[in-house]
Amino acid sequence: MHVDVIVSDLSQRDASERLCAGIASRGVNIDALVNNAGYGVPGSYVARTWDTHAAFIQVMVTAVAELTHRLLPGMIERRYGRIVNVASLAGLVPSPAGHTLYAASKAFLIKFSESLAYEVERDNVHVTAVCPGFTFSEFHDVTGTRAAMNRLPRFLWMDAADVAKQGHAAVMAGKPIVVTGRVNSTIATLVRILPQRLVVGAGRRIGRLYRRV
């Protein structure tokens, strides 16, 4: 197997264009795109500079939309493509304070994926928003919240490999949205049927355990 590695900082405005140019120069056709780059900006919204938030939006929203826009035509032309946008359960539930733009960006990915999936299904291109909950990765180490996260019950957590497998199965089956794991699926269902005051209250209590506000 031959692997090409192209390093790119997606927070740069021209990163997606340069990345796609690099792919084209190698004569590579992209049949599968996984938009998985992401991070969190903990703390209150006004505590961070606008440049910090602008870079976050560039990575979490703009780069996803642009890479998809640039690579999708080839998939449609070849009548085959698979696009996975790694969203989050956070995009489906009320958000507590802190990480203000995180859930908003994930909600965008969910709606974007859902709409695009219906648009291109006739071209044999599948688009799926994968919505995991708490997942074992370096995410919380980077944001400095690992110690707080370790206080959460083990049953709330999933392994990254299991999330990836469920996401792969969903996009191959043509499902626009998948919430990974039984616990997360139950939470997503309860959010839809329980009174919002109860849901918001529960979210705030959990949020205090791991969000720095």
Examine the residue annotation and report whether 165 is marked as an active-site residue of this protein.
no
How far is it, in rounded angstroms, from Cα 175 to Cα 164? 14
Instruction: Give 146's contacts (C-beta < 8 A, 6+ positions apart).
Output: 140
How far is it, in rounded angstroms, from Cα 206 to Cα 208? 5
Q: Are 33 and 82 in contact (CB under 8 A)?
A: yes
Find the catalytic residue in 80, 106, 111, 210.
106
> Which of helix, strand or coil describes residue 94?
coil
Q: Are 202 and 95 in contact (CB under 8 A)?
A: no
Cα dihedral 187→150→58→32 (10° resolution): -70
Find the catalytic residue in 39, 45, 80, 102.
102
Q: Quickly count: other Cβ atoms within 10 Å of residue 103's Cβ.
A: 19
Instruction: Give 190's contacts (C-beta < 8 A, 6+ positions apart).
Output: 199
Environment class of residue 108 by beta-carbon count within 10 Å: exposed (0-12), middle (13-18) or buried (19+)? buried
Examine the residue annotation and report whether 80 is marked as an active-site residue of this protein.
no
Catalytic residue numbers, as ranges: 102, 106
